Structure formats: structure tokens, C-alpha cells
Amino acid sequence: MQLVVARIGRAHGIKGEVTVEVRTDEPELRLGPGAVLTTDPAANGPLTIEAGRVHSGRLLLRFEGVRDRTAAEALRNTLLIADVDPAELPEDPEEFYDHQLIDLDVVLADGTEIGRITEISHLPSQDLFIVERPDGSEVMIPFVEEIVTEIDLEGQRAVITPPPGLIDDSQAVVASARDDEAAEQENEA
């Protein structure tokens, strides 16, 4: 099975290093020196990691055969893909690979069906489940502990406790500073 583990960003310096957006919880395992990664687009690879280091909080990689800024810049936006045994699981029991989560049923704690996970969107601040509802509409659910309370791989389901308005817009509570000020002014009058 193939997993996207990083996306190449811009070139760093003049010796062929690139910044990478890490998309794995195990960068030391997947992005270490000697790792051979396939790429998307395929014409840019395969790439073998020669060296890596952290600089100002960002991972920098250098690949065999990429020796200057021009060659490094040509790799920008390339996805790095690792071959992984489908039976392999992350070391931490609270971590999951995307392929484990895709197609899980999403239900409320009381068993009410919400939909099925069709995609995982990896954002800088958090991951999102893209859930297809039975009517064909989609809802985005933040993959955070406060909302996704259980991942049951054997039962093929994700249990959620969404805040009001996340699933049903009619339950949304709109709060703003203006509303608070208006309420205070009415109470003072």
C-alpha cells in the first residue's frame, strides 16, 4: 500500500535542499536517510533521501542527484509516497493511517447514523473527516479528541459528539460581541 508522507515545498539555499510539509506522524521512520520514495508526479521520482535536518522548525531534505537550487525548485509540490505493508499499524494506538479511517461509518454516541468518511483533509492546525451523508451532502468533522470520541476499527465506525450546529445548521448558536452588547444595553434601560 502507498501512503503520502510529505509534500515538497520550496528550495532552501543553493545546495539542493527543499522544505517539506510532513504528512506522517512517523517522519523519522518514513523520511530518514536512505529512504526511497515514489512520487506524484511519477516523472519526478523515485527519490532517495540523502540527508535531512530541522531548520527553524521545518524539515529540510536533500535527495541524491539534486545538487542545486534549480533542481530542487523543479521538485516543488511533488508528493512523496512510501510503500507500507497494509497490515502495519502506527506505534501509538491513538494514531491511524488514512486507509484505516476511509469508509468508516460516522455515528453519534446514541448510534444515530451521520454518514461515511470519504476523505481525510490534512490541514496545518488539524485533520478533517469529509463525511458523506445519506442524502449525498457532505459535512466536515474536525478530527479532534473533543469531537471524535472513539475510533472502533473492528466495528468499522467513528463515534462523535459534535457541538451544536456542526451536523445540523438549525441547532447552530450564533454568538457575537454585538449581541452581548445589545443585551447589556437592554438590561441597563
How does DSSP assign 138-188, residue by residue?
EEEEE--TTTEEEEETTTTEEEE-PPTTSS-GGG-----HHHHHHHHHHHH
Tens-digit pLDDT profile for residues 37-50: 999 999 998 999 99
Q: Which cell numbers hold the place of 143?
A: 478530527
Tens-digit pLDDT profile for residues 121-174: 877 778 899 999 999 999 999 999 999 999 998 899 999 999 888 887 655 556
Q: How far apart are CA 65 and CA 86, in angstroms?
A: 30
**pTM above the 0.75 mark?**
no
Residue 181: its pLDDT value, please?
A: 60
